[in-house]
Amino acid sequence: MRLKKTEAALEAFKNFVIQQARTRLTKSKKNVSKELYNSLKGNVKVMPNSINVDFEMEDYGLFQDKGVSGKEKKYNTPYSYTTKMPPVKPLAAWAQSKNIRLRDAQGKYKKGNYNTIGFLIARSIYKKGIKPSLFFTKPFEQGFKKLPDELINSFGLDVDDFLAFTFNEDRLR
């Protein structure tokens, strides 16, 4: 027996979480490269004895969602910078894509030394950390609160369909 309505309810939950997480990323201006946005995926897996829902995203998405405590500024998160700073190279590339430049003593823009900018940003993140955005956690919790009622109703409809199929008088003759 395939639980089609239960599966559909879990698909709707998965789609809601992904859509809302993407919206929150965009609204919070954390969607610069679209890499994290595009990496958000979910799967509903139906197996003989169970149904599973899982989500995927770039590894750094977890740190954007939960935040990271810095050396000087602390957040309520399990992650923190201890001895290593964030990598400079991606921050330098980001600064270059945004055309962020330093000025000299006369106020003129220096020719792009983006590694220096990347280092300065990395050091700032190391000290101040990354504030939790909860871009994924909030939609997941929202969707999860509604899920039990939807699953009970959907599962009940699946059981009704199964019983109707099983006890169909035309089939028994």
Q: What is the DSSP string of 104-149?
A: -TTSPBPS--HHHHHHHHHHHHHHH-B----TTHHHHHHHHHHHHH
Can you give the pLDDT at residue 157? 57
Taking only the tens place, the pLDDT of each residue in 70-79 is 999 999 999 9
Q: What are phi and psi of 49, to 5 degrees?
A: -115, 5
What is the arithmetic mean of pLDDT over 39-67?
Answer: 89
> Within 10 Å of residue 26's Cβ, how many Cβ atoms?
13
Mean of pLDDT values over 164-173: 51
Sign of CA dihedral 146, 148, 152, 158: positive
Burial 88-115 (b: 16+ CB within 10 A, else e): beebbebbeeeeeeeeeeeeeeeeeebe
Query: pLDDT band at 168, cuts 50/70/90?
Result: low
- The pTM assigned to this predicted structure is 0.76
Q: What is the pLDDT of residue 105?
A: 83
Q: Read off the pLDDT of residues 123-136 as tens digits, 9 standing for 90 and up.
A: 999 999 999 999 99
pLDDT at 100: 85
Alpha-helix runs per DSSP H in 40-87: 60-66
Q: What average pLDDT does the chain have?
A: 84
pLDDT-derived band at 37 (thresholds 50, 70, 90) equals very high
What pLDDT score does 172 carry? 47
What is the DSSP pairing of strand 50-56 with strand 41-47? antiparallel
Residues forming beta bridges with residue 38, ordered by sequence position: none
Confidence at 146, pLDDT banded by 50, 70, 90: confident
Q: What is the pLDDT of residue 58?
A: 94
pLDDT digits (tens, 9 = 90+) for 78-105: 999 988 999 999 899 888 888 888 888 8
CA 7 → CA 49, 78, 152, distances in Å? 13, 33, 12
Other CB atoms within 10 Å distance of the CB of residue 65: 23
> Where does the pLDDT of residue 142 fall: very low under 50, low under 70, confident under 90, or very high at 90 and above?
very high
